[in-house]
Amino acid sequence: MFVVWKGKRLVAVLLLLIVAQLALMAFLIAENLSVKNTNLIDFTVVLDAGHGGIDGGVVGVDGTKESSLNLAYAETLGEIFQTAGFNVVYTRKGEGGLYGLPTKGFKQRDMLERKRIIDEADPNLMISIHMNKFGESYRSGPQVFFQDDKDDGRDLAESIQRVFNEFTGKARQALGGDFFVCRETDCPAVIVECGFLSNPQECAELQTEQYRNKVCQQIFNGTMLYLYGG
């Protein structure tokens, strides 16, 4: 069941989370500990930039490749998690795919390699980053997906979607479905479609550093809401 949170309560929780994050960082600085690139919390997040290589994903109205944007968003999100002390593992850190040679069956090999990396990392959470496309150009805004029969993934997806909705003003629900990368992952796993490349305005916005930082911060805040929001 989808629970709609009152806006003020959500803002209060998010403010508390940000204060807690700042307090942690202040403590670490006071203790002369390095905040960046340090696994301070025994908690691993796998960030999966969708597509790559000959599989560019969807193509934006201006020719933008989804795979490149996914990579940029995964890296920015990873920096936010690492700064907060989380351990981050990426399924890919380059533009290439994970399939080896670009021959028949590459997509399946690519997906199996993602599963192998996720299994090896044995993470606490997995977030797969994608960009959306729709036949009509008007549709916009981020959308979170989860594996239908997995309640922990649903909870994580709903928390992230709540934070997105707070900023977009949309009443969008996290959506269930059957997705290899979520189905085959043991921990809470979601797919975040950050926006629509079929919407000219959003396609342009998604390519700016400012908007990327904003969306990634919202994904992080939604994850904190899932972990600590009660």
Q: Which residues bind Zn ion (CB under 5 A)?
A: 50, 57, 130
**Closer residue to Zn ion, CB minimum distance, 13 or 197:** 197
Query: For the purposes of burial, counting CB atoms within 10 Å of the CB of 75, is it exposed (0-12), middle (13-18) or buried (19 or more)?
Result: middle
Strands (E), 67-177: 87-90, 125-132, 143-147, 175-177
Minimum CB separation of residue 191 from Zn ion in Å reads 8
Q: Which residue is nearest to Zn ion (CB)?
A: 130
67: Cα within 13 Å, side-chain hemisphere: 15
Minimum CB–partner distance for residue 126 and Zn ion (Å): 15
Closest separation in Å from C-beta 38 to Zn ion: 31
CB of 66 to Zn ion, least distance (A): 5
Beta-carbon neighbour count of residue 219 at 10 Å? 25
CA angle, corner 149, sides to 147 and 152, nearest 5? Answer: 70
CA 122 from chain centre, in angstroms, equals 17
29 burial level (CB within 10 Å; 0-12, 13-18, 19+): exposed
> Between 57 and 229, whose beta carbon lies closer to Zn ion?
57
Residue closer to Zn ion by CB (options 130, 150) is 130
Q: Which residues pair with 193 in a beta bridge?
A: 130, 143
Looking at beta carbons only, is 92 or 130 nearer to Zn ion?
A: 130
* Pair of tokens at residue 125: 């959470």
Kindly tell me which of 133 and 154 has the beta carbon lying closer to Zn ion. Answer: 133
CB-nearer residue toward Zn ion: 130 or 212: 130
86 alpha carbon, distance to own chain's centre:
14
